[in-house]
Each structure stands twice: as C-alpha cells, then as structure tokens.
Structure 1
C-alpha cells in the first residue's frame, strides 16, 4: 500500500465509535499518538491544546460523579461553550435529525423513549467503556484561531489512532457537565473543558457501531472559480 492510500484509508475508516472492547492500549503507542497529534499546525506555533490522560482512579471518580450528576436537577443548563447554533436551520437541521435518529434506530430507542436516551447518555459519560479516556481543554482567554488549531490537533489524534489500528470517539458531551469534570479532574477555571476522547478497539458487533453517517458530495459544498 502506498503512503497516500494508507492516509486515505485512515481518513475513510475513521468513525465515531460508541462501543469498545476491553482490550488495553499500549501506553507507548498512546504516547506516540500524542506526539503525532502535536505536529498539528498552529498560528505562530502557539500549540494551544492541553490534554489530560485519565488513569484508573481519576476515571472511576469522574465517571461515578457524572452518573450521579445525570440525575441531578442542579446541573447547569448551559454548556461550557456554545457548540451548536441557538436556532437550527436547513440544511443543518435535517442532517442533525437524520444522524440522530439513524443512531437511535440502531440502538432500538424510539421517539419519546427517555430511559433509552438516558442509557445512551450514561454510556457516553463512561467513555463508551474505551480503555483510554482523555480530556481536552484550552485556555479560556484564547480566540477562535486557537480553537481552529485545537481542532487540527484533535483530528491528527483521531487519524493517527486509526492508522495504528485503533478506533476513537470525540465527545462534546463533557462540556455540558463541565462543573463536574472541572471538580473531579482539578481543572482550573481559566481552562475551557472542550471535549473528551475515547480510544481503543471497536466492538464490531455493537449496533451503535454500524452507523455510517452520510456525507455531502463535493458539488454541494464547493464553488469552483475561474
């Protein structure tokens, strides 16, 4: 396989995996993935990303607190930052609805099944049982350019993991639970909780992992100028 084909395969095969096998990930390999991710470009080489690798104790403490918070009426309604628009419009509304209901259909969760949705949220908060759990943050005083850099770091990590035979899932849900994450992981107020990242080996038999989101053809998002 050529280098170009290997890169293409990693990009095309990467999916948001929502069920993992318990097989461990070699810590040496994980460190290598982080080294590769850190090769992402950043404006004036600021390298604004901050990452925490959760060990068994910190992870157990965090997951326990998150599951308790899931049933708590005291959880703040606002996320750490606004990921989605306040009002969805087309074509984004239809895309969002389709991928959401495609996933829930695979999981056997029907409209109005609040318990089923809650179970999936709880699985999300447990990093989908992946052997590797990471938490990504960024300094609060940085601007949108640094957030773009952060996204390139994250994509590098996901593609590098895929290239090394691992699967992954970036998890924005932790921004919603940022007070709990901040407390349990001792994250200072001057850092924004951006997302969690689950890494491991996908459980290929899990219904959730059969989801393949549709992608728009090039013609729909590209304008070719003379």
Structure 2
C-alpha cells in the first residue's frame, strides 16, 4: 500500500469519526430539547385543562357509576419496556372481556384492532374519542417519562407479539400522545402504513417537526370527526 493510499484512508476515517461525533451531539441536543418540551408542555396542558378534566370526570360517572373514570392499560414503550398508560374511560366496564367476540370484525389489517361502530363505546366515550379528549390523561405518562408528547402510538402486548423485527423498529423511541400517524388521518391508515409513518418520524429527529405535529394535533382536536 502506497503512502498516499494510507493518508487517504486515514483522512476518510477521521472524516467519518467527526461525522459520527457530530450526529451523536445533535441527537443528545434533540433528546434534551424533546424532554424539556415534554415536561413544559405536559405541565401547562394539565394546568390549563384541569376544568375539562373535572367536567369529563362528572360526565363519565353520571353515565356509568360502576366503572372507574380512568382506564389503565399495560402498553409497550421504548425498547419494549412495559408501562401503565392512562386514558379517560370511553367504554363499558367489561370492554376487555367483550373484545374476544369482536376480533373477527376488525376493520384494519395487521397487529391492531379498530372498529368504527364499536358497541363497547359509551355515549360520553364516543364524544371524547371523536375529539381525542380521552387521550389527555396520557400527559401524566409524559411527566413520568413513559411517553413523549410526540412519538409512535404505544402498542398493546398482544399486538407486539405479532410484530416482525422490522415492526419493532418503531419501539426504538418513546411512544407519544400524538404522532405522524395521528395527524395523517388515523381512521384511514392501516397498520403497515402506520409503521412506515412512525419510522419516517424517527428518522427526522427534529424538534421543530415535533412542534409542527403538536400544533397540527391541536388543530385536528378542534375540527376532526374521524377519530376512533
């Protein structure tokens, strides 16, 4: 090997090393900014929405006094870590027991269950789902660090069991209250397309893209009728 070849290889190696260090530093900054945005956004959201939390609590209890106000469910987060996710209860108390009889009516493909006219949904539940208000308690998950404001939808354990290694790439980051899938017409997006949207988001790695998704979500919450 000539001296010029050795020098060229060394320069190429150093260039790649600098690029890797630069990318690592950019990722560290993004993670810091994202967590800061999560904490501030969740705190502000909870304070501003406390009156709404109170109203929804009363409505849920008036319609169904037997069941709890909040629905707790085990979900799979970053690096397949399990956590308890919170939502306002939008279904009847025994919804999980009734699911087995409805699986054959699934209206989407892949490892996910969706049914537009799900008989388990209550009247209050239909409203809070349409407006995505049922998702607001997830702000607690954001403060705890289980979730982020923006990220892939947190899957169920039974869904992850059906994942391929490719699908599991969406679990490389924290799941989010909202994400690219949610603002892309989630009612009309199938599982495989959802995965592609999640991976597209992960590759972006951009705090301004997160902010864009948050504002787009707020706009949809006050004007969308297709969430289920």
Q: Please report the TM-score for the alignment, with normalisation by the length of structure 2.
A: 0.29
Largest Rg, 1 or 2: 2
Q: Please report the TM-score for the alignment, with normalisation by the length of structure 1.
A: 0.29
Higher relative contact order (CA 8 A, sep 6+): 1
Higher helix share: 2
